[in-house]
Amino acid sequence: MSGVRAVRISIESACEKQVQEVGLDGTETYLQPLSMSQNLARLAQRIDFSQGSGSEEEEAAGAEGDAPDWAGAGASADQDDEEGLVKFQPSLWPWDSVRNNLRSALTEMCVLYDVLSIVRDKKFMTLDPVSQDALPPKQNPQTLQLISKKKSLAGAAQILLKGAERLTKSVTENQENKLQRDFNSELLRLRQHWKLRKVGDKILGDLSYRSAGSLFPHHGTFEVIKNTDIDLDKKIPEDYCPLDVQIPSDLEGSAYIKVSIQKQAPDIGDLGTVNLFKRPLPKSKPGSPHWQTKLEAAQNVLLCKEIFAQLSREAVQIKSQIPHIVVKNQIISQPFPSLQLSISLCHSSNDKKSQKSATEKQSPEDHLYVLEHNLHLLIREFHKQTLSSIMMPHPASAPFGHKRMRLSGPQAFDKNEINSLQSSEGLLEKIIKQAKHIFLRSRTAATIDSLASRIEDPQIQAHWSNINDVYESSVKVLITSQGYEQICKCHSIRCMQLWAGRY
């Protein structure tokens, strides 16, 4: 057959895209080839699960026929391999294991369905429950819902009721004890000014100077009480204070120390009858509560008592040439022979009795306010001494006292040295010295003035210094001669020297 010409055979790949439609002008619209996942879906649909595994080979062969649709030459190579290996392994098609698993699952489900349907009839099979706690009876789902809703609503209602109860309680409390709050805030204000402490159910305070260094044995305790005599129905008065203080009975009223100097001694019968006063109470700062004035007045009374106690103790103990007389509330001493100094504690309580006696006419007092003030200062200095840095800090094992006194034991001080350490002068001596100085100063001024008025030539002028000590004052006395200024103006410096020499 050599004479036959070779026939040209054209082989066209079959991977040509299918034509979807042909347009009117001849253009062809191609179908997009299926993507991998689309292909997969198409193939999975063609699986027939009802076929047994025996027909899998036929299926495999049938399926391989579709294999050319697969893109890729590698797939065709696999197909060739699969055809060759078909005899040895039932299937190497990738989807086969999936199909097998699904098939076995279907089998299981069918079996279960069958068993359940048989069990439901209860003719051939019954279910025997495993012995367990009795389960709650099956309820109608609707009633169950209702009951559960009810329960949850009840829980919410409980919480809300509790809250409401608390609110109503606090509101009623506020309304009833509106002043309860004020008591506490008033107590806080009181605490800012005074020392308070709680003993049992009482609140006590301290108005003594003990913490400031005083050694007076008075306790100085006051009690804070709640003012409950209030009628809620009536209108609350303007100056109502929910807090009241109760001061010790012997500190009631007000007191001051009256120091006066008299030229001639009064009658003996008049001693001890210095009753004085109604000195008007010191004006309290506006806005300060009434307990503040009360407590301050009581503290002042205590301080005056301490001053007087100290003075009277010294008056009795200290030996002096002319002994001091202490009668009731008055100490009388004689700094100079014809002069009498009287220091008295004037304490008036707030009852009606003293108010009556206040209407008596008071003799013009030569009350020396300066000395009274100085007495207060001196006692405060004495207080400070007990707390001074000489006393404290000191070793915890040492006894309290002046630093040098602590050394007096180990250094064997004898009596003279110990006495020199202790302050020699008491309050009374200091006050007497001050009174003496005041008297002498006024006497000196009076003398200079009388001389100046009496003597015409030369002229005497006295300039008293404003700044004085309690024991010393200074005065500059200028003695000039009139007329010499004229001379010194005309004449030379020599005269001025003469003029200056007269000073």
**Of 388, 419, 424, 425, whose CA–CA distance to 403 is shortest?**
388
Regarding 413 and contact with other proteins (CB under 8 A), the answer is: yes
Minimum CB separation of residue 410 from other proteins in Å reads: 5
Minimum CB separation of residue 321 from other proteins in Å reads: 20
Nearer to other proteins, 402 or 436 (CB): 402
Minimum CB separation of residue 403 from other proteins in Å reads: 14
Q: Of 144-152, 320-328, 404-412, 490-498, which part binds other proteins (CB under 8 A)?
A: 404-412
Number of H helices, E strands in the chain: 14, 12
Asked if residues 417 and 402 have their Cβ atoms less than 8 Å apart, the reply is no
Minimum CB separation of residue 411 from other proteins in Å reads: 7
3-state secondary structure of 203: strand
Q: Which residues contact 427 (CB under 8 A, 6 or more apart)?
A: 307, 310, 311, 314, 375, 378, 379, 382
DSSP alpha helix (H) spans, 369-426: 369-386, 403-408, 415-421
Nearer to other proteins, 122 or 415 (CB): 415
Regarding 414 and contact with other proteins (CB under 8 A), the answer is: yes
Nearer to other proteins, 319 or 415 (CB): 415
% helix / strand / coil in the chain, to the nearest 5?
45, 15, 40
Minimum CB separation of residue 317 from other proteins in Å reads: 18
Nearer to other proteins, 132 or 416 (CB): 416
Minimum CB separation of residue 413 from other proteins in Å reads: 7
Q: Dihedrals φ, ψ of 199, to 5°?
A: -120, 110
Give the residue, chosen from 27, 228, 411, 492, that forms a contact with other proteins under the rule CB under 8 A: 411
Minimum CB separation of residue 412 from other proteins in Å reads: 4
- Tokens 């329960």: give the residue: 151
Binding mask 345-384 for other proteins (x = CB under 8 A): ----------------------------------------
Nearer to other proteins, 327 or 391 (CB): 391
**Size of site (CB under 8 A) for other proteins:** 12
Give the residue, chosen from 138, 235, 415, 454, that forms a contact with other proteins under the rule CB under 8 A: 415
Regarding 399 and contact with other proteins (CB under 8 A), the answer is: yes
- Say how far apart CA 476 and CA 464 lie, in whole Å: 6
> What one-character DSSP code corresponds to residue 367?
B
Regarding 418 and contact with other proteins (CB under 8 A), the answer is: yes
Q: Which residues contact 465 (CB under 8 A, 6 or more apart)?
A: 473, 474, 475, 476
Give the residue, chosen from 309, 405, 448, 496, that forms a contact with other proteins under the rule CB under 8 A: 405
Which H/E stretch holds residue 173?
helix 141-176
- Say how far apart CA 92 and CA 400 lie, in whole Å: 110
Q: Of 137-145, 354-362, 364-372, 408-416, which part binds other proteins (CB under 8 A)?
A: 408-416
Q: Which residues contact 307 (CB under 8 A, 6 or more apart)?
A: 257, 345, 375, 376, 379, 427
- Say how far apart CA 113 and CA 107 lie, in whole Å: 10
Regarding 409 and contact with other proteins (CB under 8 A), the answer is: yes
Q: Of 134-142, 337-345, 409-417, 477-485, which part binds other proteins (CB under 8 A)?
A: 409-417
Q: Of 175-183, 257-265, 387-395, 411-419, which part binds other proteins (CB under 8 A)?
A: 411-419
Regarding 391 and contact with other proteins (CB under 8 A), the answer is: no
Nearer to other proteins, 35 or 423 (CB): 423
Ramachandran sector of residue 53 (left: φ over 0; alpha: ψ -120 to 50; beta: rest):
alpha
> What one-character DSSP code corresponds to residue 183?
H
> What one-character DSSP code corresponds to residue 366?
-
Tell me the angle at which helices 56-66 and 73-85 cross, rounded to the nearest 10 degrees: 160
Minimum CB separation of residue 401 from other proteins in Å reads: 10
Regarding 408 and contact with other proteins (CB under 8 A), the answer is: yes
Nearer to other proteins, 144 or 418 (CB): 418
Minimum CB separation of residue 420 from other proteins in Å reads: 14
Residues that bind other proteins (CB under 8 A): 399, 405-406, 408-415, 418
